[in-house]
Structure 1
Amino acid sequence: MKSALRIACSRRHLQQVRDFVRNHLSNRQLPEVTVNQVVLAVDEVVANFIIHANGEDETQFLDLELDTDGHDINVEIADHSDTVYLPGQHQNPDLSEYIRQGRKGGMGMTLVNRLMDRVEFFTRGNHTVCHLSKHIL
């Protein structure tokens, strides 16, 4: 089953994204923890696209597509700006060092990589796409 959503690049659309993912997954008999993991991962990637790749430019937009197929949840988030946004590989950060430095932020993609089974960023033409997948039983 596939669902699609297009949003403008503004943080005020993040609740709409979370609701979209939750509503799509509510049609399946999934544990609440799995639903919450996918909602959080999608929210983080979309927020990164909005803030870091698009500078919250509401003239730009993102397309989200969710597909639940058999035992897999697949999410594709496509950014249509001309900026290529490919975050680097995220290592396991030294949390005690983050605390010592009083750092805020910078942990989101590490969390996404822990929540999802596969996280891939790639380009399609001159646009950036993120594919997230999670295997479910």
Structure 2
Amino acid sequence: MQDRIRISCSRQNLQQVRDFVRDFLLAGKRSEVIVNQVVLAVDEVVANFIIHANEEDSSQFLDLILVLVNHRLEIEIEDHGSNLFLPRGATPTPDLREYIRQGRRGGMGMALVSRIMDRVEFFERNSHTICHLTKELA
């Protein structure tokens, strides 16, 4: 099973992405818990591309490809913007108490994505940033 979608880099398209991922996984008869986790992870990565890599420039676009083979979900998010957005290294688990104490906002998303998904990889292909997410679905 495979599907794809292209969106412009606008926050207004995040709901479309969430619906796309949800519909794809529900068509594969996945549990609501798994569906919600994967939707959250994809939403976070796409939001980071839209906001941080493309500064919400709606003339730029992202391609999302979802592939489900047996019990393995592969997600590829390709950023067609002119800036490479390559987070480096493992995302540390933040100290939640310290975040709350400091009143910090943000910076937790990729740590959450790393906990939800089995693999999170960022790399460059043809001068575009690619995020590849993998999850084994039991």
Whole-angstrom CA distance in 2 between matches of 1:123 and 1:10:
22
1:35-64: CA deviations, max 9, x gaps? Answer: 111100000000000000000000000000
CA positional deviation for 1:86: 1.0
Q: CA deviation at 1:90?
A: 1.1
51-60 vs 95-104, which deviates more?
Answer: 95-104
CA distance in 2, matches of 1:14, 1:6: 12
| Shift of residue 136, structure 1, vs aligned partner | 1.1
SS where residue 84 of structure 1 aligns?
coil
Matched with 1:112 is: 113
SS in 2 for 1:14: helix
The TM-score with structure 1 as length reference comes to 0.97
Q: Secondary structure at the match of 2:58?
A: coil
Query: 2:129: which partner in 1?
Result: 128
Q: How many residues align?
A: 137
Unaligned runs of 5+ in 1: none
Deviates more, 1:27-36 or 1:52-61: 27-36
5+ residue gaps, structure 2: none
Aligned to 2:22: 22
What is the match of residue 61 of structure 2?
61
How far did residue 29 of structure 1 move? 2.0
TM-score, scaled to structure 2: 0.97
Partner of 2:95: 94
String of CA shifts for 1:72-123, please: whole Å, max 9, x gaps.
0110000001101012331011111111110001000000000000100000
Give distance in 1, aligned partners of 2:68 and 2:8.
Answer: 24
The alignment's C-alpha RMSD in Å is 0.7
**In the alignment, residue 48 of structure 1 is paired with which amino acid?**
N
Q: CA deviation at 1:27?
A: 1.2
Alignment-mate amino acid for residue 131 of structure 1: H
Structure 2 counterpart SS, 1:56: coil
Question: Any runs of at least 4 consecutive aligned residues in structure 1 with deviations exceeding 3 A, and if so which?
Answer: none
